[in-house]
């Protein structure tokens, strides 16, 4: 990516660019990447907000497409310099079948890699997940861990299985020759639980609290710490990696980085209250109101009901054995690898991330967003 003083020359493609994280990446690229000439936004479902971006100095091209269709991916990628592959099926509730999750997350990623090789796109940034590491189903805590911390990785659920396999494919592809003979440079980012404007589960908890006359009920002990990261900082890390990959290919190629910022370590529910509290909700109980064995029973019942009802309807409650295990296991990251390798520092402070998220939650009330 040679620096051009005269005219911006780079073409980027963001897969999943209309999703929760994807939208932030798209907007961040337009704000923070002065060398951008064209930004292609590739998604299964295109959003209407893309239209307003088309009036700016950078050419924004919306491409409706499916990552599971190799020819659609290759056609969209022809002539691009960098691809940020964020499209994915995020499902830990049983909404999609394991086969569909595999097709989108694994086959879709393989298609992106092959398209890089075929079209000569040299830089690939992949949005992986903390779940590639854990929490494992044995409930082992990962406490302030970094990219080198030993941890017993046990995958059973289709979503983490698919993210782990896709990440492996991306890392193994580093160094493959792309069209024109140059080596492919890849790297994977592993966000913990992302929060911020557009976070649907946060919005769902808010609505549930409103329905319960301003109350939510504690289910998880306050001592179980959960790693969370603000969406703006996750987007910023993607933009920075994409920018630095060429200059630091030897160091960054084939590497994984946890996505982190200065958000406080708290339990999942206490962390959500940082935003929902100022919006008028209160978390009832200093300890879980139900004993853990009862939660396990309810989660198991939900899984059984989901299986029984599947021929008739999709029953996908928030609580199932997997989500309970994740919510109930400490998983926090403490690392500076991204700072050491490519100078990452969070763009948004915790105070700013919190304020922006609160504003967004407040704006969703009754708005149907
Ligand atoms: N949300 C989190 O807490 C979190 C944490 C870690 C990693 N991630 C990863 O970040 C990425 C984005 O997640 P998100 O939370 O923004 O999810 P999201 O569902 O909001 O966004 C995913 C986007 O991908 C698109 N997409 C899905 N299937 C597609 C297909 N077949 N072809 C093209 N586009 C398709 C969707 O339409 C959507 O716009 C995912 O890869 C996810 O695994 C998310
Ligand atoms: C027991 C309930 C009482 O309030 C709380 C259930 C909360 C769960 C639904 C969520 C707890 C942890 C979340 C996951 C975590 O933040 C990390 C993730 C990684 C990412 O790649 C996808 C989303 C998720 C799996 C996220 C999903 C929701 C939780 C399990």
- ipTM of the prediction: 0.96
Taking residues 269-295, what's their average pLDDT?
Answer: 95
What is the pLDDT at residue 138?
A: 83
Span from the CA of 224 to the centroid of ligand 2 (angstroms): 13
| DSSP helix/strand/coil, 230 | strand
pLDDT at residue 3 tops 90: no
Q: Which of 14, 64, 68, 88 to mutate to test the pocket of ligand 1 (most atoms within 8 A of CB)?
A: 88
**Of the ligands numbered here, which is closest to the C-alpha atom of 88?**
1
Q: Is 41 in the pocket of ligand 1 (CB under 6 A)?
A: no
Which tens digits make up the pLDDT trace of 83-117?
A: 999 999 999 999 999 999 999 999 999 999 999 99
What is the pLDDT at residue 4?
A: 45
Taking residues 79-85, what's their average pLDDT?
Answer: 97
Closest residue (by CA) to atom 22 of ligand 2? 90
Q: How far apart are CA 302 and CA 88, in angstroms?
A: 25
| DSSP helix/strand/coil, 177 | strand
**Of the ligands numbered here, which is closest to the C-alpha atom of 191?**
1
The answer to whether 159 touches 131, Cβ cutoff 8 Å, is: yes
Q: What are phi and psi of 299, to 5 degrees?
A: -65, -40
Strands 215-217 and 36-43 come out as unpaired
CA distances from 131 to 151, 324, 348 (A): 12, 14, 24
Q: Is 43 in the pocket of ligand 1 (CB under 6 A)?
A: yes
| DSSP helix/strand/coil, 352 | helix
What is the pLDDT at residue 364?
A: 86
Catalytic residue positions?
A: 159
Span from the CA of 220 to the centroid of ligand 2 (angstroms): 12
What is the pLDDT at residue 7?
A: 65
Span from the CA of 64 to the centroid of ligand 2 (angstroms): 29
The closest-lying atom of ligand 2 relative to the alpha carbon of residue 194 is 16
**Of the ligands numbered here, which is closest to the C-alpha atom of 92?**
2
For the beta sheet containing 36-43, the strands, ordered from the edge strand earlier in sequence to the opposite edge, are 59-64, 36-43, 10-15, 82-85, 123-127, 185-191, 255-259
Looking at residue 126, the DSSP 8-state letter turns out to be E
Span from the CA of 327 to the centroid of ligand 2 (angstroms): 6
The closest-lying atom of ligand 1 relative to the alpha carbon of residue 163 is 43
Which tens digits make up the pLDDT trace of 167-206?
A: 999 999 999 999 999 999 999 999 999 999 999 999 999 9
Question: What share of the chain has pLDDT > 70, as a percent?
Answer: 97
Whether a cis peptide bond, with omega within 30° of 0, leads into 272 is no
Q: Which of 14, 15, 17, 21 to mutate to test the pocket of ligand 1 (most atoms within 8 A of CB)?
A: 21
- Rounded to the nearest integer, the mean pLDDT of the chain is 95
Nearest residue to 279 via CA among 357, 175, 177, 183: 357
Reported pTM: 0.96
In Å, how far from its chain's centre is CA 117?
25
- 60 burial type by CB count under 10 A (0-12 exposed, 13-18 middle, 19+ buried): buried
pLDDT at residue 226 tops 60: yes
Q: Is 45 in the pocket of ligand 1 (CB under 6 A)?
A: yes
Q: Which two tokens stand for residue 125?
A: 């940034």
Q: Is 253 in the pocket of ligand 1 (CB under 6 A)?
A: no
What is the pLDDT at residue 154?
A: 85
| Residue owning tokens 């964020």 | 86
* DSSP calls for 231-269: HHHHHHHHHHHHHHTTTTHHHHTTEEEEE--SPPPB-HH
Which tens digits make up the pLDDT trace of 17-71?
A: 999 999 999 999 999 999 999 999 999 999 999 999 999 899 999 999 999 999 9
Q: Which two tokens stand for residue 187?
A: 């790297």
Q: Is 19 in the pocket of ligand 1 (CB under 6 A)?
A: yes
Taking residues 283-303, what's their average pLDDT?
Answer: 95
């Amino acid at each position: 990516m040679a620096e051009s003083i005269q005219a911006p020359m780079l073409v980027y493609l963001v897969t999943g660019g209309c999703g929760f994280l994807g939208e932030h990446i798209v907007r961040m690229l337009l704000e923070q990447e002065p060398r951008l000439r064209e930004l292609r936004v590739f998604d299964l479902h295109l959003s209407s907000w893309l239209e307003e971006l088309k009036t700016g100095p950078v050419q924004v091209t919306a491409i409706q497409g499916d990552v599971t269709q190799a020819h659609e991916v290759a056609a969209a990628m022809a002539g691009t310099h960098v691809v940020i592959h964020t499209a994915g099926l995020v499902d830990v509730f049983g909404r999609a079948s394991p086969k569909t999750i595999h097709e989108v997350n694994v086959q879709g990623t393989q298609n992106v890699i092959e398209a890089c090789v075929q079209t000569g796109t040299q830089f690939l940034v992949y949005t992986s997940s903390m779940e590639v590491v854990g929490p494992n189903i044995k409930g082992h805590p990962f406490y302030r861990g970094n990219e080198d911390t030993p941890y017993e990785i046990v995958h059973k659920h289709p979503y983490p299985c698919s993210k782990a396999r896709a990440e492996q494919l991306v890392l193994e592809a580093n160094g493959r020759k792309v069209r024109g003979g140059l080596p492919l440079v890849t790297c994977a980012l592993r966000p913990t639980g992302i929060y911020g404007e557009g976070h649907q589960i946060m919005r769902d908890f808010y609505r549930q609290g409103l329905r319960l006359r301003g109350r939510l009920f504690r289910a998880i002990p306050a001592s179980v710490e959960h790693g969370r990261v603000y969406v703006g900082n996750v987007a910023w890390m993607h933009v920075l990696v994409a920018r630095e990959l060429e200059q630091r290919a030897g160091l960054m190629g084939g590497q994984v980085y946890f996505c982190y910022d200065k958000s406080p370590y708290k339990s999942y529910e206490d962390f959500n209250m940082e935003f929902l509290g100022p919006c008028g909700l209160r978390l009832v109980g200093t300890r879980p109101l139900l004993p853990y064995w009862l939660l396990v029973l309810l989660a198991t019942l939900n899984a059984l009901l989901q299986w029984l009802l599947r021929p008739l309807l999709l029953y996908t409650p928030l609580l199932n054995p997997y989500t309970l295990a994740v919510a109930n296991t400490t998983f926090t990251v403490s690392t500076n690898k991204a700072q050491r390798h490519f100078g990452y520092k969070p763009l948004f402070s915790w105070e700013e991330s919190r304020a922006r998220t609160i504003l967004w939650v407040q704006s969703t009330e009754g708005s149907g967003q």
